[in-house]
Amino acid sequence: MHLMYFTERPYRDVPEEEVIRNRSFFGVPNRFYDPEVGARLYNEYLDEACYAEEVGFDGIMLNEHHGTPFCMGAVMNVEAAILARITKKARIVLLGNPLPVVKNPVRLAEELAEIDLISKGRLVPGWVRGAGSEQIFNQANPAYNREYFNEAHDLVMACWTRPGPFRWEGKHFNFRYVNPWVLPYQKPRPPIWIPGVISAETVVWCAKHRYPYVGLGTALQSTVELWNLYGQTAAEEGYQAGTENFGYLQQIHLAETEEQAQEQGKAALFGGGAANFSRPEWTLPPGYNSKEATRRLARQATDYGFLGITSEKLKESQSGEVRHIGLPRDKKDTRARLRSGQISIEEAKRKIYGNYQKAQDGLQIIIGTPKTVIPKLKLIMEVLRPGILGLFQAQGPLTTEQRLTSIRLMGQEVLPAMREIARGLGIVDPFEREPGSRPHISGTSYEPLVDLEALKRAPTRDESVRV
């Protein structure tokens, strides 16, 4: 089983009130950014990654977001390049490079190849469509999001696997002379994993490419459905999917005592947590969703916490402020002021932190000591049987010491227990068994990928609670 450490590398000193008033981490004005703090945090996060490797993690996962204190990984490949040199054996897992916002996929292929070379073959690249806010920040046309994704993907693959020089003339990218001298260390190319939160289209795409799919904290019930969609598609493609095709990411915080853990773990809800990642209008710019997904959205208020979409926000997105029409302009302005101050910051915070226990009950976050945390992780492993599992250090203003303690406890007690559980469950990772390498016997149904009996023991997630 591949166990990886993940943190969003949050800018932890942003005033919480600003995030709540802005109703979103994305778009908090950058006047709150202090370069001294930024410099300290970048270095701490690099040290943290080395420590995670030291305590026994197999991989360090990085991600990329722009224009937000939620995640400082604006140029993830820079961090990855440093880790390539300062870590020794951990895989460097990038989940992922947002292909649609990359204007030059050839350069991306070169950057990643350099990281793979410096690390001597420890890179695991991954691709994402990028949240809606990334399209806005990077001026990437959301109506072409899927097309950019597909073509950039094909071009990066061509850079790595097709002998140059060649010409690339696509719909969105044109390169007269593709002949990168810097090629990956791993042959024929580095392994590729794809993270996701909602999109059935992405799951199908992954299955067709035999790329492992990593669910980012999605509710167990809906994740099971996605796994089965993957398995069905894999069978149609002629292979049997298995634990090597799946990964999962779980937000977690550990401390020496339950009391400490419970007190510290509230940090995960800071500023509204991932539910306040971005406002709906920034999360779903026009065309970002396929027609089919838009149709689903219009008819059912599904919750997508990692993207900052809740049924409440979605309703707002659909109806906007139309319900307020009829108010004269001056009253509108008053209303706008009221809206942000309608309830005081204190009340807003009470509402956010009032969900703490529910968030734990629904496994949105796992907080505790190794003793209380391990059974919850075991349940997730039993239900989903993921070959890859990322432990996501809780967000928010934890101190450096609290974070390091959490990592130490993961390494000392949680990781060995998880490896033992994985052995018992027969879970193998993509390095132990090549994804897509087992043929499927046509005419038969695919082998079960999840444990539906275990799912019965899983708590039902209250989807209105977002972390």
By CB under 8 A, the residues from 26 to 55 that bind another protein are none
Do the Cβ atoms of 13 and 270 come closer than 8 Å?
no
CA–CA distance, 134 with 346 (Å, rounded to integer):
30
Beta bridge partner(s), residue 93: 61, 124
By CB under 8 A, the residues from 98 to 137 that bind another protein are 136
Q: How far is the CB of 147 from another protein (least distance, A)?
A: 10
What number of chain residues touch another protein (CB under 8 A)? 33
Exposed (0-12), middle (13-18) or buried (19+): which is 326, by Cβ within 10 Å?
Answer: exposed
Q: How far is the CB of 22 from another protein (least distance, A)?
A: 14
CB of 286 or CB of 424, closer to another protein: 286
Do the Cβ atoms of 305 and 359 come closer than 8 Å?
no
Q: How far is the CB of 324 from another protein (least distance, A)?
A: 7
| Residue 252: closest CA among 50, 5, 41 | 5
CB of 332 or CB of 438, closer to another protein: 332
Please report which residue ranges of 1-144 form alpha helices under DSSP H: 16-22, 35-55, 76-86, 105-118, 132-137
CB of 95 or CB of 140, closer to another protein: 140
Provide the Cα torsion 82, 43, 6, 355; round to 10°. Answer: -160
Q: Is 143 in the site for another protein (CB under 8 A)?
A: yes
By CB under 8 A, the residues from 304 to 363 that bind another protein are 316-329, 332
Tell me whether strands 166-169 and 174-178 are parallel, antiparallel or unpaired: antiparallel
CA–CA distance, 153 with 155 (Å, rounded to integer):
5
CB of 26 or CB of 248, closer to another protein: 26
Provide the Cα torsion 1, 407, 375, 427; round to 10°. Answer: 0
Among 10, 67, 126, 142, binds another protein (CB under 8 A): 142
Widest distance between CA atoms in the chain: 69
CB of 77 or CB of 310, closer to another protein: 310
CB of 167 or CB of 295, closer to another protein: 295
Q: How far is the CB of 144 from another protein (least distance, A)?
A: 7
Do the Cβ atoms of 174 and 186 come closer than 8 Å?
no
CA–CA distance, 423 with 152 (Å, rounded to integer):
38
CB of 15 or CB of 286, closer to another protein: 286
Binding mask 177-216 for another protein (x = CB under 8 A): ----------------------------------------
Binding mask 219-238 for another protein (x = CB under 8 A): --------------------
Contacts of 142 by beta carbon, 8 Å cutoff, 6+ apart: 132, 135, 285, 286, 287, 288
CA–CA distance, 11 with 68 (Å, rounded to integer):
8
Q: In what helix (H) or strand (E) does residue 458 lie, and over which residues does it extend?
A: none
CB of 298 or CB of 452, closer to another protein: 298
For residue 247, the one-letter residue type is G
Q: How far is the CB of 329 from another protein (least distance, A)?
A: 6
Among 32, 42, 51, 144, binds another protein (CB under 8 A): 144
Binding mask 261-300 for another protein (x = CB under 8 A): -------------------xxx--xxx-x-x--xx--xx-
CB of 325 or CB of 444, closer to another protein: 325
Positions touching another protein (CB under 8 A) are 136, 139, 141-144, 280-282, 285-287, 289, 291, 294-295, 298-299, 316-329, 332
